[in-house]
Amino acid sequence: MSARPTVGWICALAFTVMFLADSSSAASVKKPPRSIKQLHAGQYPSDWFLRQRAWPQQDIDPEARLAAYDQARSLQAIAGGRSAGQWDPVGPTNVGGRIADIACHPTNLNIIYAASASGGVFKTTDAGTSWVPLFDDESALSIGSVAIDPSNPETIWVGTGEPNGGGGSVTYGGTGVFRSTNGGTTWTNMGLAATRYIGRVVVDPLNPNTVFVAALGSQWSPDPYRGVYRTTDAGANWQHVLASTDSTGAVDLAIHPTTPNIVYAVMWERSRAPNFLDYGGPTSGIFRSTNGGDTWSELTSGLPTGDRGRIGITLCESAPGTLYAIYAESNPGAFDGVFKTTNGGDNWIQTSDGALGSIYSSYGWWFGNIRVAPNDANRVYALGLDFYRTTNGGSSWSFVGGSMHVDHHALDFAVDGRLYEGNDGGIYRSTTGTSWTKLPNLPCNQFYAIDVNELNSAQRYGGLQDNGTHRTLTGNVDDWTSILGGDGFRPLVDPTNAQHIYAEYQYGELFHSSDGGTNFDYIAGSLTGRKNWSMPVEFHPTNPATLFAGTSSLWRTTNRGVSWTSISPDLTDGDGGINTTFGTITTLAIAPSNQAVRLVGTDDANVWITTNAGVNWTKVDGAIPERWITRVAFDPLDAATGYVTVSGFRWNEPQPHVFRTTNFGANWTDISSNLPEAPVNDVIVDPQSSSTLYVATDFGVYRSTDTGGSWEALGNGLPNVVVMDLRLHQPTRTLIAGTYGRSMWTYDLQAATDASDLALSPENVNAPHLQPLRPNPARETVEVRWVQPRAAAISIDVLDVAGRRVVALVQGTMEAGTYSRTWERRTSDGKMAAPGVYFVRLAGDGVARTRKLVLVE
């Protein structure tokens, strides 16, 4: 094996290219004074997603994840039975996210299937004008391969677990192979869950019961489940027909169209750990079987030898003796050539691919695919950082990527010759192979963090994997635009003046705009210390010119980032001695009711509190599990009451994920209750009722109305996708969810409350409930009506958006009956209530009911 050099320069090059490529339509940005390469040498960005879920272990227990999925499905079924409100997708649909594979229908030019990295499977029946998600309720939305049975195109095979091994967002492993026999309407899991990541599925063109699967196995630990699997009974049973070492899996396949006993498989040796990446070795190579997979032999004549990295392979349907293979070096993964055979693999020659050297200069393990036109053995497309084509069998190559997003993973040919191409920016279509049109309506973005303009809830912002920071100013799903490049992380919009916007890309590269997002200035120059892939940044609760940011210590600026002051020591246990960014602050919170009280959480399980604005810090994580801290938060009205959420799955012991303190962290209570034992990524305390909590998890959003005593899945319609971030827009009572694979969603808390008032469940049918307010919106008086099924003590109050009482309308015991009260729009001190959003709240007989009211001039 060769030495393992640092791959920091690889990551640096990738990020530099992504930043430049993704910033072309972004706002004007003043670049930071140092290059990303200088800032982040030696770091492994793609550890972030999995590492926070595995730490302190090396990997995730897949059985624990499946158990958590089952728990989530049970809670979601209960929520569905209650008709508890609906989640609405709000885009973006015009940005696009990472596509791992594409399959075109063999006879219908309008039907195409797309496999997204962490958003499931999509289908179009109008050649890409619109897309429908097919996989939302399945156990894994990370997809590696999608294949259509050529003899029965209603049968679709899907291999879960994205095979691409880096780039900032390695997603969950899969749960095996799925099959649909009705064009994707329903799915059946056909097994192979232990394979974790699947690079390719191919169906025998003459015998639909025979299917081959290229399985990579776990990316983070060795296992025996790697290699090529075959079924001859449509998935009822599988045979492990090609295996190598416990670190070598199969990543690609090709099958002869008329003699399907001839099968080609690509084996790829790869190992990965937090401080270590080895994406190649001597057991990587191309193998051929001439007896349907019973036996295999390696093809070597004319091909690279020694340590080899990822390899992609393609076979020409009209000339099946012609194949092409694209090679990456072992480490660091630079392009190593395109090779061609015209005799079925017996002998290979390298094409004249020198022009590709500068394009494929690194991280070939992120792409590694090549495609030949089915009707022209000389027309071949090489997929890498950029997109190249030869029309003369490899004698010369030319760049044909046009205006497409970089990072190319997928390509397929429709029956009419059109090409469909998938990359980190979505799907593109071409009739010529040289000019491309981006296809709309594909909501598969991976959000890291989100925000909303407090003064205009239609204006939503989000930081996206490989697509920068985007926003909509209208609330439409299809008009999102870029305001900052790179990988996008925490955006912040000043709640008092939306001209001030903050955005960041990876490793804490923070920017400020004072003109509403047109221009940005770099403001992270004096922020020193180790920075997380997603550095936390938060506003001061009452003075948004003051911000806080976390590196390995806590920092404060009082002048919008012009200068920063450290207000804590290093709050971590150090970098752990590994070659990555670790030992960082991952979350911070300032108590709204007492800004001198602050909580901080770290990736190495530390929780700290200060009650005197950072003069002294106390470590308060004694009762918190040894897990990555994902979020800290305060009760809006009580600085002594705080919350901590953690990531991770159970390893032979129960794994609580949500904790509460009422005494500044001196003691913590596990309030996870019946939550699925899955990572919790965010927690929000409802400012209208501090006993109501919302959490974002890797399996949806949940609500508790009794301070964590019990939890329910919130609403219907949200896919089984990782929810990374939540925002509650209090004036409109809208909950906003940023997902890692299915873009952004909103949930109208008030509409759901109204619906529950009008359709009471059996257990509270005898409880009092509010009728719709009249008029609403209102200029003068408001009629408040309610039904009292039985005698009970009740109260009815008008609240402002912060949950403060404006006036008490009713207080006392009421007999059964229907009642009405008129509010004259006066506050408790006799003043006229200002225009805005208010809430009428009825409480009593064991229930609380709220309706939103809008007062206008």
Alpha-carbon separation of residue 708 from 654, 696, 705 (angstroms): 17, 14, 7
Give the count of beta carbons closer than 10 Å to the beta carbon of residue 562.
Answer: 11
Residues 202-250 have pLDDT tens digits of: 999 999 999 999 999 988 889 999 999 999 999 999 999 999 999 999 9
How many residues would you count in the chain?
Answer: 857
Burial label, 760 (beta-carbon count in 10 A; 0-12, 13-18, 19+): middle
Are 843 and 811 in contact by the 8 Å Cβ rule? The answer is no
- Report the phi/psi class of residue 666: left, alpha or beta, with left for phi > 0 and alpha for psi in -120 to 50: alpha
Residues 350-383 have pLDDT tens digits of 999 887 754 555 678 888 899 999 999 999 999 9
Query: Which region, left, alpha or beta, applies to residue 141 given φ > 0 means left and ψ of -120 to 50 means alpha?
Result: alpha
The whole-number average pLDDT for the span 722-738 is 95
Domain ranges of the chain: 61-91+645-656+670-762, 99-438, 445-525, 770-855
Residue 768 has pLDDT above 90, yes or no: no
Report how far residue 512's alpha carbon sits from residue 503's, in angstroms, rounded to the nearest whole number.
Answer: 7
User: Mean pLDDT lowest for which of 153-162, 187-196, 277-286, 756-765?
Assistant: 756-765
Average pLDDT (822-842) is 88
Looking at residues 547-560, what average pLDDT do you find?
Answer: 98
Kindly report the backbone phi and psi dihedral angles of residue 764, in degrees, each rounded to the nearest multiple of 5, phi listed first.
-125, 25
Lowest mean pLDDT among 42-46, 59-63, 486-490, 512-516: 42-46
CATH code linked to domain 770-855: 2.60.40.4070
Q: Rounded to 10 degrees, what is the CA torsion of 180, 186, 192, 196?
A: 110
Closest C-alpha among 162, 262, 246, 142 to residue 202: 262
pLDDT of residue 48: 85
Give the pLDDT band of residue 828 (cuts 50, 70, 90): confident
Structure tokens at 562: 């012009």
The mean per-residue pLDDT over the stretch 700-706 comes to 96
pLDDT at position 38: 30
* Alpha carbon distance 385, 357 (integer Å): 11
Winning range, highest mean pLDDT, from 154-168, 403-417, 744-758: 403-417
Angle, alpha carbons 487-491-493 (nearest 5°): 160
Whole-number Cα distances in Å, 360 to 351, 367, 386, 721: 15, 10, 8, 32
Reduce the secondary structure of 110-159 to three states and give it as a string: CCEEEEECCCEEEEECCCCCCCEECCCCCCCCCEEEEEECCCCCCCEEEE
Among 17-31, 130-144, 321-335, the minimum mean pLDDT is found in 17-31
In angstroms, the CA 221 to CA 60 distance is: 10
Supply the DSSP string of 4-50, one letter for each residue: ----HHHHHHHHHHHHHHHTTTS-EEPPPSS-HHHHHTT--TTHHHH
Which of 8, 12, 51 is closest to 273 using CA atoms?
A: 51
* Nearest CA-CA partner of 382 in 444, 439, 326, 343: 326
At 176, which amino acid appears? G
Q: Once rounded to an integer, what is the mean pLDDT over residues 744-764?
A: 64
Q: Is the pLDDT of residue 544 over 60?
A: yes
CATH of domain 99-438: 2.130.10.10
Handedness of CA 558, 560, 563, 567 (dihedral sign): positive
* Peptide bond just before 719 cis, omega within 30 deg: no
Whole-angstrom distance, CA of residue 468 vs CA of residue 470: 6
pTM, whole model, 2 decimals? 0.85
Cis amide linkage into residue 92, ω under 30° from 0: yes
* 107-111, 419-423, 713-717: least confident range: 713-717
According to DSSP, residue 161 is labeled: S
Give 1-60 pLDDT, tens digit per residue.
232 222 232 333 333 333 333 333 344 444 333 232 232 333 444 578 888 998 898 888
